[in-house]
Each structure stands twice: as C-alpha cells, then as structure tokens.
Amino acid sequence: MAQSQKLKVTLLIVVLAAGLVAGIRYFAWKNVQTADWTTFRKQGDPQSPIKITEYIDLQCPACAYGSQQLQGLIEQHANKIFLEVRFHPLGVHVHSMAATKFAVCAGQQGKFWPFMHLILKRQQAWSELTDPQPAFLEAVKDIQLNPQSVLACTNDDALRVKVLEEKDAGAALGIKSTPTYFINGKMVVGVASMLDEVYRLLGIPKPVEPAPFQK
C-alpha cells in the first residue's frame, strides 16, 4: 500500500514538473519574443496613405498569388503602401501551420520576408509532400540561416499557441477564408477585390492581367 502511494506521489511530481517546464517555456517565449512577434511582419512606412493588413494561409494558392501582387505594388509604390502580414492557417491545408512556424522563426532571425517569398514561390512543390519539413529546411539554408537553430524554434509548443491566438483574433473580425485583407480599415476578400481597391486608392488604372511578382 505504501509503495503504491509512493508511486502515485512520484507520478504527480513528474506531471507537475512537466507542466511547470511547459509554462516556463511558454511565458519565456511570450515575454522575450512578443516584442518581435508582429514587428518583422511589417513592411513600409506606417504613415503611408494605404495601410494593408493581409491575413494569409501559407499553403493557400490564392494567398501566394496575392502576396506576389502586393510585393510588386510595394516595389513600385514603396512610399504609398504599408503592409502587415497576419497568419490565418486553415484546417484544410495540413502543412500551413508548419509553414507558419518556420516563417515566424525565420523572422526571429531577420529573414521573414525572404523566407515567406521563397516558400510561396515553391508552394506547389512542398504542398504535395507528405512531410514538408525537409523543403522548409532547404529554404532556410537558401536564405543563409542555420537550419538547426530555426528547427529548434519551430519545436516550441508556445509558438503554435501564439499562431492559433492570432487566427482566433482574425476569426473574431469575421475572417472566414484566405486571403482576406483590411485596406484602410475596410475588409476586402480575395485577390481580385484587393487589387481593385489598391489601384483605386493609388489612383491609377488596374492592368487587365497583372503579372506575378518574381524575386
């Protein structure tokens, strides 16, 4: 009986210790990295006349196309467009969460935009894989980051929690599909509607068929 009670106490201590470690890791990640959580996903001057928040699923083909179009517009009108990316991984895209975590961890090392552009360009290839991790690690190497350092970052459970919190915040705003944009506070759904609104605000004609941005 005493031995059974001792085993129960031991198991309780192990469970409590594991919970404590997980809690420490979560709050350490939150406290140390939250300052950079959105900063590296912002591009341009916040005082620009056109402010865009892009809700994106990194495995969504329309999101890849929309991102290319936006980057092309920013290249041409850098002083007029401010862009912030927010994550909205959809359950239908099984690799979206993994891609998002890799993008965040690349961003923590100053390479969010190069990584995101690269994996969106290669999206079709890695989307068809059973395990996309090798493709993501290859992209990490291609942008001159340390694969093991980035991989260690993606393994932090607190990061998944942060991504899901951001998705929930987007859902509370009424986001149901990707890509969805807020342009100067106005919700715009889909790439075609986004382009219509941005060209309208720029005051220039929209091309009949905008060419994808390649970099």
CB 42 within 8 A of CB 159: no
Residues 155-209: tens digit of each pLDDT: 999 999 999 999 999 999 999 999 999 999 999 999 999 999 999 999 999 887 6
Q: Amino acid identity of 42?
A: K
In this predicted structure, the answer to whether residue 36 has a pLDDT above a threshold of 70 is: no
CB 30 within 8 A of CB 160: no
Alpha helices in 38-144 (DSSP H): 61-76, 96-108, 112-121, 123-127, 133-142
Which residue's structure tokens are 């969504």? Answer: 60
Q: Amino acid identity of 83?
A: L
Q: Give the whole-number percent of the chain exceeding pLDDT 90.
A: 77
Convert 93-122 to b/e letters by CB count within 10 Å (16 or more is b). Answer: bebbbbbbbbbbbbbbbebbbbbbbbbbbb
CB 202 within 8 A of CB 77: yes
Per-residue model confidence (pLDDT) at position 113: 97
CB 111 within 8 A of CB 143: yes
Measured between alpha carbons, how far is 113 from 32 in angstroms, rounded to an integer? 21
The total number of residues shown for the chain amounts to 215
Per-residue model confidence (pLDDT) at position 19: 45
- The correct CATH number of 40-202 out of 3.65.10.10, 3.40.30.10, 2.60.40.10, 3.30.460.80 is 3.40.30.10
Angle, CA of 28, 136 and 165, to the nearest 5°: 40
Q: For residues 43-60, give the mean pLDDT.
A: 97
Per-residue model confidence (pLDDT) at position 37: 79
Per-residue model confidence (pLDDT) at position 207: 86
Residues 99-136: tens digit of each pLDDT: 999 999 999 999 999 999 999 999 999 999 999 999 99
- Tell me which H or E stretch contains 197: helix 191-202
Stretch among 25-29, 71-75, 95-99 having the lowest mean pLDDT:
25-29
Measured between alpha carbons, how far is 10 from 20 in angstroms, rounded to an integer? 15
> Tokens in use for 113?
């935009």
Longest dimension (CA), the chain: 83
